[in-house]
Structure 1
């Protein structure tokens, strides 16, 4: 009865818990985005499909399963799940079975000879037992340990989601840049054809004594200048193709057959579905990771406080021991034991106090990091929105400039053939057209890249990944 009373008291005390209780922090985010784009429309989790390029979408989704960084993050997540199972096992009694056989001979001069042979002959000792023990979680140490393991799992999952988001954004960025380089190459080749036509016309006029050798030299120099742009563009295209191969966990050049055929730079629709700002706290992996780190640090404070208090462990054992194997199962060969054990820290030289102070400071650091992460996320979205809007305006202005330069080149070519102007005027207009066309392609590329950065800041992608 005394044992049962002690057990009941221990279980009732197990409801006690020391240490702070964790409560989810509030994310200080604006009620709505300061942007002209509709903010109430939900962000598409598969945001890469909003870029309107089926090949890009295929590459992103293949990278999610083939990328080695993503595989490494998934492995760390599996490790955290295993650690959670280990932490959860501490809440349950541990049961172990033991069995042993020994043949031995004791000293005739020793203090103990269970065989009764007084050391004159060897003997056999058979034993088998079932042992169990359970720590009564009086102060919540085990519960805080489990909570820390759960927070670590949430942290690792947020890190995995962050890697997936980074892989998607990097794959999309590399693809957009690749298509931009191919567009630059197409513009360069078109201007090279124009420059060669001008060179042929200038040589013809020189042969007929209409123009000078200077015009021929200028026309030839323009051809060489435009042609010189092609080699760097070809090298850049190869590097971007290799970068995409790496993102998909493949050897260099393995995607050449798929990517070498030029395609336009992805041009998504102008409006951007942003969702509401409060969704960032539940969607951005870095915010979720910081929140999980704060929860883990809070649990660590509880564990440190619980270490100041006694630990009560209940144990029991039942088994058999015999000098002959045939007697091992006899009722008379049984042995058993049960009872509690108490651990009480009396003097630790300041270790417990120092550990608690450290854990409290770590909790404060985690809280500061959470606030900083939320603020940084807010700024990142605002900057991405501003960049995207500015690039759209830039692209509109360049489109007008390209149109005007094309008309100027047509007019200059006509007047040059008529002999009304010299070739230097034609050359200047050709250079202006090439520059504005290249700038237009670069602007289209930067607009698509700004859209990718915006989606990354909004943290779409695999929200239900497990």
Structure 2
């Protein structure tokens, strides 16, 4: 024969299962659409389209692999072990990346805490021995007060069911926020790698520009001194002397700012690596960096599923939809079941005897009636937040398309610019060599060699800038392609919200989606 506690437990189990079914069904009834809005699917990013083959420069014609998958460790395409080491150092030591990792860890633990608080029963053990002086009953012939000892030890359990899924929707909303943090971590990681690569390229280019500018300044000073000497001898006019002096001063004025810029880039690179600025790395040579010959370019529809910033914005859309649904569901009834079992008595003998057995079972059904408009206002608040998230998602997608389009155009023009600057530098170099040969033969004055040398160094500065721009824009394009983020167990974060297989309707799909979300993220928190 079943005991009273067993029968009560069976009844509570049935009620609990019924409430759970109702709450799962409620998940599909409330809140706006969780899916992100449909976005345009252009045939190409730029107004003029993008060719599969970019113009060649310095023997390399970059090939755009349309529709190819992104490259996770794309910086290795520059074929520089030193660059690879710098990126690895930054990914291992960067405080900003460490902060993002701990923010994700905190978000996962917060989700685990909320799931444990809302989806599982509360079970507590208490022991309360007290000694008190209490008032007596007036009609009894005894003193107004009396002393008593009370001994109570109980196991108490309670569980709140929200028939319409407010708790499940709230948990799923928080799971969406955890997804957002995971995608933001991946976005931070990729941005860190791209910034290190670009800083390394800029540091190398600026150092070469400083070297060329120093030679340019030295030649300008020599030309100014020689022109002044020629003026003293009467072979040059005063205007020639002043013009040469002005040119030398103008060239020298560019050097301090260029040196400061070069040091600032090195300092920024050191911070990206997790170093102090005084421990900045020695600039690499541009010749040590090879422009990657092949660059993947995702089609626009695939880009939506590869970029971490777009996936994070999508996660926000889903989370805010669930928050709005939870706010709506909280306006409907909820059921709380409670039970206790233990012993009690006014003395130890009663406490330990069969007469000291105590237990209780109860249920509380609650329906909000009036909260001063707070519940309705909160519902409207989360609906407006969802609308804002949808708009932000659209803006994120459009900005991503713009970044890719601008970078493709820049890469196309970078090759042309590099060809022309190299052409100008080669011509200036040949002119300088010819002028120096004629000077050695006595056919040209010495100041002519200085002027030709200045023109060569100026052309060299422009050439270095063009090389750096092509290398940096290639890094930007690699980074803008994104890649499917992967969590620490190797599971695609894109699939944290598991798809429902065999769902018969939208309601069952959303209900199963809720359970999969909570279970998956809770397992990840373990």
TM-score range, shorter chain: 0.7 to 0.9
Alignment of 1:30-45 (within 5 A): 30=42, 34-36=49-51, 37-45=64-72
Equivalent position of 1:11 in the other structure = 17
Shift of 1:213: 9.2
Aligned in 2, Cα 1:434/1:131: closer, same or farther, shift over 3 Å? Answer: same
Aligned in 2, Cα 1:141/1:244: closer, same or farther, shift over 3 Å? Answer: same
- Does 2:485 align with 1:463? yes
Shift of 1:151: 0.2
Equivalent position of 2:194 in the other structure = 169
Aligned in 2, Cα 1:430/1:217: closer, same or farther, shift over 3 Å? Answer: farther
Equivalent position of 1:306 in the other structure = 329
Aligned in 2, Cα 1:267/1:201: closer, same or farther, shift over 3 Å? Answer: farther
Gaps of 5+ in 2: 1-6, 52-63, 489-526
Equivalent position of 1:345 in the other structure = 368
Q: TM-score normalized by structure 1? A: 0.86
Contact 1:176 1:265 in 2 (8 A): no
Shift of 1:290: 0.9
Question: Which shifted more, 425-434 or 85-94?
Answer: 425-434
Cα separation, 1, equivalents of 2:487 and 2:16: 42
Equivalent position of 1:127 in the other structure = 152
Equivalent position of 1:103 in the other structure = 131
Cα separation, 1, equivalents of 2:292 and 2:86: 20
Cα separation, 1, equivalents of 2:153 and 2:253: 86
Contact 2:217 2:251 in 1 (8 A): yes
Shift of 1:300: 1.1
Alignment of 1:428-439 (within 5 A): 428-439=451-462
Aligned in 2, Cα 1:226/1:7: closer, same or farther, shift over 3 Å? Answer: closer
Contact 2:30 2:328 in 1 (8 A): yes
- Does 2:187 align with 1:187? no
Shift of 1:218: 7.9
Alignment of 1:27-426 (within 5 A): 27-30=39-42, 34-36=49-51, 37-89=64-116, 90-108=118-136, 118=143, 122-189=147-214, 191=216, 230-255=255-280, 258-259=281-282, 262=285, 264=287, 266-418=289-441, 420-421=443-444, 425-426=448-449
Contact 1:95 1:130 in 2 (8 A): yes
- Does 2:464 align with 1:453? no
| SS across alignment from 1:464 | coil
Cα separation, 1, equivalents of 2:342 and 2:139: 25
Contact 2:296 2:478 in 1 (8 A): no
Shift of 1:254: 1.3
- What is the CA deviation profile of residues 285-330 of structure 1, one whole-angstrom value per residue up to 9, with x for unaligned ones? 2111111111111101211121221111111111111222344232
Contact 1:152 1:296 in 2 (8 A): yes
Shift of 1:29: 3.5
Equivalent position of 2:59 in the other structure = none
